[in-house]
Amino acid sequence: MTPTATATAPTGPTGWFSRSEAWLDSKGKGAWIAAMVLGFVFFWPIGLALVLYITYTNRWSSNMFNKSCSRSRRRHMHTMSPTGNRAFDAYREETLRRLEEEQKSFETFLERLREAKDKAEFDEFMDERAGAAAAERDAPRADA
């Protein structure tokens, strides 16, 4: 048996543009911003081209907040997972339920307060309007 040679395609970036893009990606968002600023400083069409490239390739939209979102999601999931202590888990569940009820009742209170304020303002407007109409009706006409 004779071994056959297999050609493998290069796995890394091959052209200067691909290498530059990979380098900027490895350095993060700050490197892209610095490249844009330097592009505008030295030759404004380069900066504009970088802005358009980043915008149209959605360079940041999909990855912009991945680290911070995954960290907060992981923290949130950790706080809601059972601890193994049934008494504490029951206390936590009861406290969260009570806080949710208090939040709902507070939101209901705020809604009633807004409605009362709106009604008071509307009643004041209607009283002013009625007073102005009565004053206009009772005022002697100069042309009569």
Predicted confidence at residue 109, as pLDDT, reads: 95
> What is the rounded CA–CA span in Å between residue 83 and residue 89?
7
Predicted confidence at residue 73, as pLDDT, reads: 54
Looking up tokens 């007073």 gives 131
Nearest to 24 by CA among 12, 32, 14: 32
Predicted confidence at residue 53, as pLDDT, reads: 85
Predicted confidence at residue 115, as pLDDT, reads: 95
- What stretches in the chain show pLDDT beneath 70? 1-13, 58-79, 141-144
Extents of the domains making up the chain: 25-81, 95-138
CA dihedral 38, 43, 48, 50 (to 10 degrees): -50
Q: What is the pLDDT of residues 13-24, one digit of tens each?
A: 578 878 888 888
What Cα–Cα distance (Å) separates residue 136 from each residue in 61, 80, 123, 132, 139?
61, 66, 20, 6, 5
Predicted confidence at residue 49, as pLDDT, reads: 87
Predicted confidence at residue 65, as pLDDT, reads: 46
